[in-house]
Structure 1
Amino acid sequence: MTVTTSGLTRAAGVAAVVAGLLFITVQIKHPHLDVDFITTTEWKVRQSMKVVMAVLSLAGITGMYLSQVRQAGVLGLLGYLLFGAGYLVMLGVEVVGLVVLPSIAHTSPGYVSDVLAVATGGHATGDVGLMQAVNLASAVTYLGGGLVFGIALFRAGVLARWAAAVLAGGTLATVLIPLLPQVNQRLFAVPTGVALIGLGHSLWRAQRTALPGVTDPRLDPVAAA
């Protein structure tokens, strides 16, 4: 099997689409987070989906950035690094939720409850150690990275601009979660999921429709240089 730049780029597009679908699907009828729930099979399934989503999202945005390095410029690099860091931190948090929390739910229920409270924007009654800082880092990098990366993609004009705008606006909208307690916070994940699907499809389609042996210079940083 021959590995090509266009093939990897198409794969990144597919990864982004699947990540967006998983991000939306995992929010559907998501039960309330508590100690009892995280010991169930449903928790393991949902957490596994989140882990896969984070990995695929990272692959997807990497393909998006590398396909338009010159057009995205410094803003694109900054956005990619922030957003990529956000997904890396998110991956770590979801792995902890999948592997660690269920194993200590019965022996340290208070700690687990506090970690879940912090993860959903609440306040811990006890000491959760560095998990507080990790969740803060995840929120800042995800929000800031999504906003900056979305703006950079919109300015570059290589991929679907509507999807880039939704990415920027959707991630920024998450700051409203504490201000709108009556709104299900999981609804705020939908715009980002839709944006990943749109951007991923745009990336895949641009490579798929290119003429054989010819690469669109907008999608090739080497040719664009």
Structure 2
Amino acid sequence: MTITTAKLIRAAGVAAVVGGLLYIGVQINHPHLDLALVSTTEWKIRQTMKVLFTALSLAGITGMYLRQVKQTGALGLIGYLVLAAGFLLMLSTEVMGVVVLPAIAGTSPGYVTDVLAVAVPGGHAIGDIGLMGPLTQVAGVGYLAGGLLFGIALFRARILARWAAALLAAGAVATLAIPLLPQVNFRLFAIPTGVALVGLGYSLWREQRAPAAEALTSAVGSVLDPAGAT
């Protein structure tokens, strides 16, 4: 199999679609974060889904940015770097969630409980959790600011689905309203971002697939009409 730029970008589109679907799926019937949950199989499954979401989404936005470097300009670069940093930090915290927290839940229940507390918007730790608090906060800022800036850049570039780009930016802004709407399940605010990733990923895959189909049609036409090649 020949690896081409177009194939890699199409693969990034698929990664974004799968990442978005995982992000939506993990929100469905998500239980309350507490110490008892960490030791369950459900926790491991959901955390693994979150790890895959962040990794696949990072690959997806990388393909989106590389496809339209010139069109997105400086805003696209800044938005991509901020959002990519957010996903990388989220990836690290989710990996620790699936690998480290279950291993120390029995010996350090207070620490695990505090880490779970700061993972919820507006939550606060009672004890000292070291750099886990700032790490979670910086990851959140990268996710929100990066989503807003990158979404605007994609919208202005006019290459991928503009509704999905607008939804990515709007989803980031909407997340800021979580502290103001405590009566609303905060996990619902993740759905717009998931849908945006699916839409952008599909748009990227389809946009890269079209030139390949046109090239194949042209090649077949040349074979069937040798006179056209002279």
Task: Give the TM-score category using the shorter length.
Answer: over 0.9
How far apart are 1:178 and its partner, in Å? Answer: 1.1
1:39 corresponds to = 39
Deviations 1:59-108 (A, max 9, x none): 00000000000000000000000000000000000001000001010111
Give structure 1 regions of 4+ aligned residues with deviation exceeding 3 angstroms: none
Inter-partner Cα distance in structure 2 for 1:113 and 1:179 = 24
The alignment's TM-score, normalised by the length of structure 1, stands at: 0.94
What do you get for the CA RMSD once the two structures are aligned?
1.0
Match of 1:26 in 2: 26
Cα drift, residue 213 of structure 1? 7.2
Alignment of 1:185-204 (within 5 A): 185-204=186-205
Q: Which residue of 2 aligns with 1:212?
A: 215
Q: In 2, distance between residues paired with 1:116 and 1:134?
A: 13
Unaligned runs of 5+ in 1: 215-225
1:68-87 mapped onto 2 (5 Å cutoff)? 68-87=68-87
1: CA distance between counterparts of 2:137 and 2:75?
Answer: 23
Deviations 1:113-155 (A, max 9, x none): 1110011021111111101100110111100000000000000
Match for residue 54 of structure 1?
Answer: 54
User: 2: CA distance between counterparts of 1:24 and 1:38?
Assistant: 21
* Secondary structure in 1 matching 2:125: coil
Alignment of 1:83-102 (within 5 A): 83-102=83-102
In structure 1, C-alpha distance between the alignment counterparts of 2:85 and 2:41, rounded to whole Å? 29
State yes or no: 1:156 paired with 2:157.
yes
TM-score, L = length of structure 2: 0.92
Quick one: distance in 1 between partners of 2:75 and 2:108?
A: 44
Structure 1 residue aligned with 2:228? none
* Residue identity (%): 67
Shift in Å at residue 179 of structure 1?
A: 1.1
Aligned twin of 1:147: 148
Q: Secondary structure at the match of 2:100?
A: helix
Residue type of the alignment partner of 1:58: L
